[in-house]
Structure formats: C-alpha cells, structure tokens
Copies of this chain bind each other. A is one copy, B any other.
C-alpha cells in the first residue's frame, strides 16, 4: 500500500471543525455587532500584498516574519540566478543551520501575505480617498500570517478583529475605539480586564527628562517594555548595555514605576510635548466616563507597545491569567502618509481572536447552546420511504427547520443513537405505516407515533413560512 500522505495542517496553522467554528462565530458575531453599533463599516483586503507595501512598516523583526510568495516563471528563473550569484559573492556557506539571506528571499519574491490589517487599511485609504468619507470608520476581521515559531496561543495564521477611525486628530476617536473594545469584552462576558493606556510622547518626554540621549529613545522604550519580565535590575543592566548611564536608567525607572498621572504630570511640568501628551491621556479618561471603557482604563507609564508606527496614545488589553495581551492599539498619525504622501491622523484597536478564545475556553465562558447544527434527523426505515423522507425534509426546511436527511435506509435504533451521539435533539423515522418522532430533552427521552400535523407543530412550531 502506498505511504499514507501527511494529513495534518501545515505547521502553525489549524483546521477549524464545526464546533470550533461555532465558538469562533460566537465571538466574531458579537464583535461585529458592537463595531457596527459604533457606526463602523466593514472592509476586506486581499491576503497578498506587494512586498514594498509591507516592508519597513513593522520594524526589523516584523519584516523577517513575512511570508513571501515565490515569483513564477521567468521572474523566478531570473531571481534564482541573481540570488545564487549574490549568495556566492557574499560567501554564504550553504549547509550550516540557521543561515539566511534576506536578499535572496527578496529576489525570488515580490509579493507577501499580510502581516496585520493596519498597513493594508492605510494602503486602501490612500487608494480610495475620493470614494471614502472624510472620517472613515472601518472594522475588519480577517486572518493575518506571520512566520513565527508556533506556541501556546501563537500561530502562523491567526485572526485579528480591527477597528479604526481615520481622518481625525480628535481624542474622541481614542475614547470611541477604547469604548468599542470594552463593550466587546463586556458582552463576551469579561469582567476583570484592564485597558492600559500610555502615550508615545509621554515616554519620549520621560526619557528626555531622565537625561537619556534622544537617539536612544527607541532602545529605552524597548527595554522599559520588559520591566514586568526582567525586573528593575534587569532593566538597568540592559539600558547600560545600550549605553545609558545607570543613574539615568534608575531615574527613568522611578518615573515609570507605579507613577500615577498626577505624579508624572509634576515630573514633566514645563515640558511642552510631555504636558500635551498628559492632557491627551487625561482627556481619554474624562471622555471614557461616558463609554463602556469606564472603570477599565488604567494608566501605565511603562507601557510601550512593539510596533514601529505608533505616534500618540497607546493601549493594551490585559487579563490577570494571561501572559501577553488580548489586543492593543494606538494612534498612528504617520503611517498613511507613507502611502499618500501627506499625513492623515488615525487611531485604532486590534483584538486578537485566538487569545480571546483561549481565555474563554479556559474559563468556560461559552454559552451552552451555540452553533447552528441540525435540529432534526430525518431517516427512512424502509427503502420505498426514501422519497417521502426527502420531501418531508424539504417541507420542514421551507418552514425554517434545520434538517439533516439520512441518505440511506436506517435501522431505527441506529438513527436514534446517531442523533443522540451528535447532539441532534430530534430524529424522525419515516415508515410505511407512519412517523415515529424520537426526542431527547433535558428531562426525558420520548419516542412516539406522530401525525404529520403533530410533527409540524412540534418541530416547526409557530415559525412563519419564509
């Protein structure tokens, strides 16, 4: 016999069986409904984007995690030849593990799979400017792909649920995206989450006040972001490695550690951009009193966020028992300019669907009955009843009942067992002398003879003809 083919999904990707889809749709339908309630409109973009669109937006690490689509035909032949020459010229020793050549990757591909939904949105906004409203409010729920090492809750294909307001510098937009996200989480059943908030300009001001050279600001942000992971001494040590004096590092730490907004305000008195950033954060808190985010916002001066494109307020959603975040976001007033040639203000949030699902699963937060599986199994128990069973199935479907028809003659016991095992609450056995309806309720199991009228009354109830 031939060797059985590999049937598992490709590393880091998953097949979603019906029960998985039920849970995913339970979550996405709530998110979609909340976003639409906020007046956001749907957008979808292609899986494939030009590499020039994707590269240089996410930072170096992001660029390395892009999936690239191989050129085809002549383009690939030329790419391979040139890549091979570069590899030879650069002395890349082929055969050792771990060696890569980004240049070679680029020569054999010019298209990649999208890494997030924010960069495609920015490209679309620049492309469709004339057709879109001045303030464009869009949501987007689609998969993204990253060639990361798979781990718990980390996949190579995963879904993001994004919501963004483009075209306004108003802080009301921050309050609305945070409010929308808080409403999503609340309606999903989360009660204990926090939306941490900080501001990129606030971080920059604190770094400046601590006496750290502005050229080291991005490094300092990256190190401070690890505070919870590596501790005070770890931060000071890593900052020292980046060339930041111990005293400056400790000053910065004092600023970001446990400081509230008033204290940071006092520290930054007279620092113009710092004071404006504090005013922004204060305004988000004020406005959020009127939104579902009220009570969930928490100022965290050590919050930094990894992505390169943020320019203003930044956010991160956390729950106690999950390392890592359920999502995050912020203002990115410079990204659209990379496509349009002039800056357009924008702010948004991204919820990670897989993380939400992991936590909801662990906490048993899914309602008992979700999904739209069949409500009735119809089976002929005699060969010459198949057409009657088929016609009956369609008559019930026309009344809005989800009916599974057994494609062959069934033994009554087998049909009942089959329905029971798969959670189909009712089974109808069609025989020449009439119908038997089996049903399992929470209280008991019944199996009785029914007339056609009784059948329709029980199964279709008062559902209107569509």
State the A residues within 8 Å of B (CB).
Answer: 1-2, 4-10, 13-18, 20-22, 25, 36-39, 41-50, 52-53, 67-70, 72-74, 76-78, 80-81, 83-84, 87, 92, 94-101, 104-105, 108-109, 111, 113, 120, 123-124, 126-128, 131-135, 137-138, 143, 145, 147, 156-157, 165, 168, 170, 172-173, 175-176, 179, 183, 286-287, 289-292, 338-341, 372-374, 377, 386-387, 390-391, 394, 397, 400-408, 418, 422
Contact = CB atoms under 8 A, between A and B. Distances in A.
A402 B52 contact: no
Contact of A17 (B43, B52, B123): B43
30 contacts: A5-B123, A8-B127, A9-B46, A9-B127, A10-B111, A13-B48, A15-B120, A16-B44, A18-B42, A18-B43, A38-B397, A38-B405, A39-B373, A47-B113, A47-B143, A47-B145, A68-B69, A69-B113, A70-B108, A72-B147, A74-B99, A76-B101, A76-B104, A77-B99, A80-B104, A81-B84, A108-B108, A135-B407, A176-B390, A183-B397
B111 A99 contact: no
A283 to B, nearest CB: 10
B287 A13 contact: no
Contacts of A76: 100-101, 104-105, 108
Contacts of A81: 84, 87, 94
A109 B70 contact: yes
Given A69-B68, A394-B292, A100 B77 contact: yes
Given A7-B124, A292-B394, 6 more contacts: A1-B341, A15-B127, A70-B108, A133-B422, A172-B390, A172-B405
Given A38-B403, A80-B80, A287-B390, A7 B168 contact: no
Contacts of A98: 73-74
B72 A70 contact: no
B7 A127 contact: yes
Contact of A70 (B4, B105, B377): B105
Contacts of A403: 37-39
A183 B400 CA distance: 13
A397 B406 CA distance: 44
Contacts of A80: 80, 83-84, 87, 104, 108
Given A80-B104, A108-B108, A341-B2, A7 B70 contact: no
A171 to B, nearest CB: 8
A69 B69 contact: yes
B290 A394 contact: yes
Given A77-B94, A97-B74, A172-B386, A46 B108 contact: no
A290 to B, nearest CB: 4
B15 A168 contact: no
Contacts of A135: 406-407
A404 B84 contact: no
Given A84-B80, A104-B80, A179-B394, A157 B47 contact: yes
Contacts of A397: 37-38, 183
Contact of A46 (B13, B73, B137): B13
A282 B144 CA distance: 47
Nearest to A10: B48
Interface-centre pick from A92, A97, A290, A340 (highest chain B CB count, 10 A): A290
Nearest to A34: B397
Nearest to A286: B387
Given A13-B46, A77-B99, A101-B77, A5 B339 contact: yes
A412 to B, nearest CB: 17
B339 A126 contact: no
